[in-house]
Amino acid sequence: MAKRKRKEITSEEVVSDAIFRGINTLRNFYGIEMNPQILFNYLEKDRISDKEQEIYESDKFQKLESDREKAAFLGNEIFKYVVEKKPFDKKGQRLLEGSLESKVGFLGKVFSTKKRREKIGAKALEDYRKRKRIAEDISEEVTRRKGLYAKVAPKLVEAVGKFGEVSGKSALSDILYAEGELERDKYFDVKSAIGEISRGIIDFTRNYVKTPAIPYATAIIGILLILIFNSTNVTGAIIGTEKSFSNPFLFFTGIGLFCISCLAFIFRNKLKKDGKTKKRKKK
C-alpha cells in the first residue's frame, strides 16, 4: 500500500494560524468578547508582512535546515509579535488598553503609574478570567438542565440569563469602544458588570449546593430513629420478653431531629420571603 503524502503547509497558512493564535491569546488575557475576525481587522497587515520578511532574512531562520523547523520558527515569531500588540492600529491599541484599564479600580487609575496600573490590571484580569470561566461552566450546566434548576434555584437561573445578556453587550461594547463610539466610563461599566454577575452566579451556586439537603436529611434520620424505637418495642412485645430493646433516647433523639429540621425549613423559607419583600420595596 502506497504511503499517503503529507500535505505541505504553506507559509501563508503558518502565518495565518500564528496570527489567530495570538489574537485568541489576547482575547482571553484581556477579557475581550468580540469575534477574533473583527479583532483581526485592527491589525496593520503591512507590519505583519514586514515582520515576516525580517524573519526570513534573520540568521536564525537561515541556519535552519528542514521545512518543519522553518515553519515552527516562523509561526512562533509571528505569534509573539501579535501577542506583544505591535502590529495593531490605533483602534486595536485603544481596545486592548481600555479592556485592561477597565479591570483596575478607581484608586489604581488615579494614584498609579502606567506600569503600576498594568501590574494591577494583570492581577485583576487573572481574577476576572477565573470568575468568568467558572460562571461560564455553571451557566452551561444550568442551561442544559434549566427545567430542574428553575424549580429549585430560580435566582441562579435568573443570574445565568443576565450573564448571557451582559456577555452579548460586552462584545458589542468592544466594537463601539474600539471605533470611538462609546465613552470610556460606559465601556468600563459594561466590563465590570460581567465580573459582578460572575461573582453573583458563583455565590448563588455555592449557597444552593450548601443548603438544600440538610433539613431533609435531618428529618429522615429523625423519622428512622422513631421507627427503630417503635419496631423494637413491637418485636419485644410479640416475643413476650420482659427485656425488649426499648431505648427512650432513640425516640426523643428522633423527635428532636425532626423538630430541628422543621424549624430549619421554616426559617429558610422565611429568609426567602424576606429577600423577595426587600426586592419589591427597592423596586
95 within a domain of the structure (yes/no): no
pLDDT in tens, 151-190: 888 888 998 999 988 888 988 999 999 999 999 889 988 8
Three-state SS at 88: strand
DSSP-assigned letter for residue 43 = B
Q: Are residues 121 and 71 part of one domain?
A: no
Boundary of a domain, candidates 152, 178, 210: 210
Same domain for 235 and 197: no
Give the model confidence (pLDDT) of 191-221 as tens digits: 888 888 898 899 989 888 876 554 555 555 5
CA nearest to 259, candidates 215, 227, 225: 215
Residues 109 and 169 in one domain: yes
| pLDDT, tens only, 184-195 | 889 988 888 888
157 & 217 share domain: no
CB atoms closer than 10 angstroms to residue 206: 10
Of 59, 88, 117, the one marking the end of a domain is 88
Among 210, 225, 244, give the residue marking a domain's end. Answer: 210
Domain hosting residue 49, numbered range: 11-88
For 116, the 3-state DSSP assignment is helix
Number of structural domains found in the chain:
3
Q: How far is it, in rounded angstroms, from Cα 86 to Cα 181? A: 24
Tell me if 78 is assigned to some domain.
yes
C-alpha cell recorded at residue 23:
489574537
